[in-house]
Amino acid sequence: MIRSGHVDSFCRDNLPPADQWPDLRIAEAGLSYPERMNVSHDFIDRHVVEGHGARIAIIGEGIEWTYSELAERVNRIANALVRDLDLKPGQRVLLRAPNNPMMVAIYFAIIKAGGVVVATMPLLRAKEIAYPLNKAKISLAICDHRMIDEMAAAATQAPDLKKTVTFGNGDLEALMQKAGYDQFTAVDTAQDDVCLIAFTSGTTGEPKGTMHFHRDLLAICDTFGARTLRATPDDRFIGSPPLAFTFGLGGLVLFPFRIGASAVLFEKAGPVDLLPAIHKFGATVCFTAPTAYRAMLEEVTRIGKAKLRICVSAGETLPKSTFLAWQDKTGIALLDGLGATEMLHIFIASPAGENKPGATGQVVPGYEARIIDEHGHDVPDGTPGKLAIRGPTGCRYLADERQKKYVMNGWNVSGDTYIRDADGFFWYQARSDDMIISAGYNIAGPEVEASLLTHPAIAECGVVGAPDPERGMIVKAYVVLKSGVTADAALTKALQDYVKADIAPYKYPREIAYVDELPKTRTGKLQRFELRRMAAEPANSAQ
């Protein structure tokens, strides 16, 4: 490791032991970064230095900042952090806000001042906010004033938190206006100093803090961003994922800032809001989840795609039916991607138009991927197995024993079951713990979900294995019906027959439960571990 620029050594002290790290292959990925670097320069200040300060960096509701204007705001906040709030290099700062320009300015100010950002999802409640506060020993929080109630409640559960500063109501803004705060020299940090701790969304249980270096933020831009996404400085990026979700951070901020493009950020980004915003702001690149593209199909037929040219789908598996429907309505082939908070962003994806419908894609140049069995041995193409990845980024959990499970022999084992075909395309089967073994058959729950979702009566569904005395497990579907559809035995049989006709008959759901809503994480991901808990309860019978 390179000499740290951190005064507060918490992050380095709580990195996993070196022998538990993945094999970080930076040179092998064709990447090279200086030993001393602070990425605030690479993403913002560099554009000003190179004479592009007048380019638009961020667009929001009633806001349009150039790179020069953003750089000054970052400097003013960084000065406030250091001079007024006594931030020390290496100190963790909790950042709580919806997607807006000010959140981005604070994000990079923390990094420029040598701090470590810990951003949280806007909808988290007090006990969920308290978890990263305690896990990362956070003493300073910066919070949008509209979200202070839950933040204040969390503070009562987090003894390390000493101060919370609000913005949007003038508190932080008053500090920013002080004389001489318009200039700030970035703290001299190392390329392998931690600048971000991103907590996983809790899809499979207690969140894990993933630690990312300054160079990691550039590496995802110089691999997926440059080699697969292939956007240009004239593009405008837009999307729905929160910036606390690394899918959103990369897609809405890092990728555009790396190339001097523009980020369009707005706080209401549901499917009903996204397409009108694409039209209003002239967005050309969109990042959102498959469910959002599916929900926008009718609206895009009505009002069109505007200037949109690149659409990235990630966060959950992309059904082939959604891929084909979006392409039919817009002429745009969705760029499907698989990433992980542990890896920071996407590592399997093919450039738009170069993929096979239904496949996630090929490995992003700069990364390597294998399909392995439970002993870590390669399996033949066409055989399901665990996905293992390595490249310039990789898993480093914050003081977490689960590091030993995620990293095996230098490879990151993501918990996904995949098949690789003879052409090198990767086909998603399931999370490894979503694979249902019934009477000797391996059945991927998401495949059954994808089939059910094409039925006109179904709005949402989740499929898991339920214990069965005869078959070991059976396929059980939890279904949310569209408005006006009645749940009864006739519909259950119709849905079962529909799946039997669509995919291998043994995969059909032997039980179907109709529910008003599905359990989800704050990022909108289906919590299959919660469905598995429900399915294991004896009283939870089919309807």
Share the mean pLDDT of the chain. Answer: 94
Q: Say if CB 334 and CB 293 are below 8 A apart.
A: yes
- Interhelix angle 445-452/489-502, nearest 10 degrees: 110
- The CATH code for residues 439-536 is 3.30.300.30
Give residue-wise pLDDT tens across range 255-282. Answer: 999 999 999 999 988 888 999 999 999 9
Coil, strand, or helix at residue 292? Answer: helix
pLDDT of residue 541: 44
pLDDT band at 10 (very low <50, low <70, confident <90, very high): very high
Query: Taking the domains of the chain in order of start, what are their residue ranges?
Result: 38-188, 439-536
Q: Which amino acid is at 315?
A: G
For range 167-180, the mean pLDDT: 98
User: What separation, in Å, do the N-terminal and C-terminal C-alpha atoms of the chain show?
Assistant: 58
The token pair at 320 is: 């082939």
38-188, CATH topology level: Rossmann fold (3.40.50)
pLDDT band at 151 (very low <50, low <70, confident <90, very high): very high
Whole-model pTM? 0.87
pLDDT of residue 204: 56
Q: Say if CB 397 and CB 360 are below 8 A apart.
A: no
Give residue-wise pLDDT tens across range 374-425. Answer: 899 999 999 999 999 999 999 999 999 999 999 999 999 988 999 999 999 9
pLDDT band at 94 (very low <50, low <70, confident <90, very high): very high
Closest CA relative to residue 446, chosen from 315, 334, 339, 333: 315
Query: Percentage of residues in the chain with pLDDT exceeding 70?
Result: 98
Give residue-wise pLDDT tens across range 296-315. Answer: 998 999 999 999 999 999 98
Q: Say if CB 124 and CB 95 are below 8 A apart.
A: no
pLDDT of residue 542: 45
